[in-house]
Structure 1
Amino acid sequence: MHSDHAHHHQEAAERPLLQALLLTGSFMIIEFVGGLWSGSLALIADAGHMLTDTAALALAWAGARLARRPADHLRSYGYHRVQVLAALVNGLGFLLLVVWIGIEAWRRLQQPVEILGGPMLAVAVIGLLVNLVALRLLHGGHEHDLNRRAAVLHVLGDLLGSVAAIAAAGVILLTGWTPIDPLLSVFVTLLIAANAVRVVRQSAHILLEGTPPDIDIDLIRETLVEALPSVTGIHHVHVWSLSPTRQLMTLHVTVSDLGDYERTLTGIHRTLAEHFGIEHATVQIETGTCAAPHAAPPSTTKPPPG
């Protein structure tokens, strides 16, 4: 039952990505044709931007789809990390796009190009509507889905780009001052760059098996020692994320009496789940010296009785 529920949840999570992919890819073709028809280099360049975003959405959708594949002998944890890898690639891709736009903006400031404000305004307005629909499709549930957050980042960049293009087209139509186009493009990409850096850092942290930011290992040690009378010490505590929403843990627990083994083990798992949201933990129970003492980090222990 739980497996079926998770499967349907994952399918529901990938469907908006596919819908946004088809929507963005279709408009990319329209924008490119519109740029050729109007002779607007700005629209052709923005179509190239949307091509990058279409590829990013395709990568995010493929990552979400692959994550549904079950575990096998070669990948005992399954394919959950594919989504994190896709988010990392998307974040890096957006940072490269920021650099490219900066270079292109500098070139256009040095050598302004002719831009037809009317066609640019019409296509930019359509682009804004398309991006609003795509953002609405991706909005729900992206807070804890790093892969979808990276996709939202790209769509948000397109949406702000459309707003900037509308503003630039208005200025060009009213004044004929074309440098407004590259200046607004740089402003928009700088707004998004900070979020791109955050996605890259979070993805890299997960791939490097970093401790989840909301997990306090010292607090875990103290809570287990205080909650369970038979527990005298905690060491070799390792916590990492399989995905942004699933934490894994291993730890060694020193107990005073093995006679209460089952109750202690059950209490450890219950405490970890209720207090820290960790539902998958591997616990090694010990009564004496740790089998791997040289690798043990500082531990929390209870003072001896009396």
Structure 2
Amino acid sequence: MGAGHSHGGADVRVGRMATASAILAAFFVVEITTALAIGSLALLADAGHMLTDLVALFMGLTALLLARRRATAARTYGWHRAEVFTAVGNAVLLLGVAAFILYEAVERLGRRPEIAGLPMIVVALLGLGANIAVMLLLRSHAEGSLAVKGAYLEVVADTISSVGVLIAGIVTVTTRWPYADTVVAVLVALWVLPRAIALARAALHILSESSPKHIDVDELRSALTAVDGVVEVHDLHVWTLAPGRDMATAHLATDGRSDRVLADARAVLAARGLGHATVQVETPGDSAGCPEQTDL
């Protein structure tokens, strides 16, 4: 079965990721410079998230560009899995930054850090504007690509971080409480952790070739068995190559009375979003030598 693939959507994603990278790179220089100058842990945490945003965007761009390369004899599926590996890398980066900030916060316990609140407020406002702009660029494409989703989630986390830094700056200026900066940094780190874990789980679910969560494999087997002329379904496998590219293979044993088995089976699969499917039609005797396998 043939299928057409348009690069239009990919071109838009690449363009938006490139624009988002330029915005965040410019702001990262401002934020890391200010954080080091005034000794703000909250700003440093936000700068760390910003750095992971930039790495995530770079890896996402690389993955999207690789995915557009043609399949070869050595890589018959092409580079579609690149964005899944990118999502794992993004999750590891997020977890690393969160762990570092928590460690630094513990190190500051018992001390009274002197933080300048006004620079925190100014930089946080600039960061909030940059993050919102990037979120708007990536939001519409986040569900169709794990590479974009990983970058989008990191920018969302960084947006929350910017809000936290803004609050910490206001509290520092108005109350002179020295731990507002540290408390906000810890809260941001704790907010990021479950989202990083969720992103890693989604990517590992694909890499382990588990069946897509939206596909009921038992129901699919029943639907294929119900196709006129089919007497048995075996070697049924369903997995995800990359987000939006679910794959399936199935062997259908038939009674030989229907010449529409293949077309009807493909229709059943296509109705469940499995347009990329390989269906083998055979007589019951042909399956005798097939090894028993567990369906995915």
The two structures share one fold, judged by TM-score above 0.5: yes
**Is 1:282–2:281 an aligned residue pair?**
no
- 1:248 matched to which residue of 2? 247
Aligned to 2:280, what secondary structure does the other structure show? strand
Measured in 1, the distance between the counterparts of 2:289 and 2:215 equals 24
Measured in 2, the distance between the counterparts of 1:157 and 1:69 equals 31
Unaligned regions of 5+ residues in structure 1, if any? 299-306
Contact 2:251 2:279 survives alignment (8 Å): yes
- 1:303 matched to which residue of 2? none
Residue identity (%): 36
**Is 1:139–2:139 an aligned residue pair?**
yes
2:222 aligned partner, one-letter code: E
1:245 aligned partner, one-letter code: G
- 2:269 matched to which residue of 1? 272
Measured in 2, the distance between the counterparts of 1:32 and 1:64 equals 28
Larger RCO: 1 or 2 (CA < 8 Å, sep 6+): 2
- 1:79 matched to which residue of 2? 79
Q: Which runs of 4+ in 1 moved over 4 A?
A: 36-42
Aligned to 1:74, what secondary structure does the other structure show? coil
Aligned to 2:6, what secondary structure does the other structure show? helix
Measured in 1, the distance between the counterparts of 2:39 and 2:79 equals 45
- 1:302 matched to which residue of 2? none
Q: CA deviation at 1:33?
A: 2.8
Measured in 1, the distance between the counterparts of 2:269 and 2:250 equals 11
Contact 2:48 2:97 survives alignment (8 Å): no
Equivalent positions of 1:156-175 (< 5 A) are 156-175=156-175
Q: CA deviation at 1:47?
A: 2.6
Contact 1:67 1:78 survives alignment (8 Å): yes
- 1:260 matched to which residue of 2? 258
Aligned to 2:60, what secondary structure does the other structure show? helix
Q: CA deviation at 1:107?
A: 1.3
- 1:67 matched to which residue of 2? 67
1:279 aligned partner, one-letter code: G
- 2:92 matched to which residue of 1? 92
Provide Cα deviations, 1:26-63, integer angstroms capped at 9, x if missing partner. Answer: 10011223335556454345333322221121111111
Contact 1:251 1:284 survives alignment (8 Å): yes
2:195 aligned partner, one-letter code: N
Measured in 1, the distance between the counterparts of 2:106 and 2:136 equals 33
The TM-score, its normalising length taken from structure 2, stands at 0.92
289-298 vs 178-187, which deviates more? 289-298
Aligned to 1:80, what secondary structure does the other structure show? coil
Contact 1:247 1:278 survives alignment (8 Å): yes
Measured in 2, the distance between the counterparts of 1:46 and 1:210 equals 35
How many aligned residue pairs are there? 292
1:212 aligned partner, one-letter code: P
Measured in 2, the distance between the counterparts of 1:155 and 1:236 equals 42
Unaligned regions of 5+ residues in structure 2, if any? none
Measured in 1, the distance between the counterparts of 2:101 and 2:41 equals 13
- 2:24 matched to which residue of 1? 24
Give the 3 Å change call, closer, same or farther, for CA 218–37 of structure 1 in structure 2: closer
Give the 3 Å change call, closer, same or farther, for CA 284–41 of structure 1 in structure 2: closer
Aligned to 2:247, what secondary structure does the other structure show? strand
- 1:57 matched to which residue of 2? 57
Measured in 2, the distance between the counterparts of 1:82 and 1:118 equals 43
Measured in 2, the distance between the counterparts of 1:125 and 1:203 equals 33
Provide Cα deviations, 1:63-94, integer angstroms capped at 9, x if missing partner. Answer: 11111111111111111110111011101211
37-46 vs 283-292, which deviates more? 37-46
The TM-score, its normalising length taken from structure 1, stands at 0.89
- 1:116 matched to which residue of 2? 116
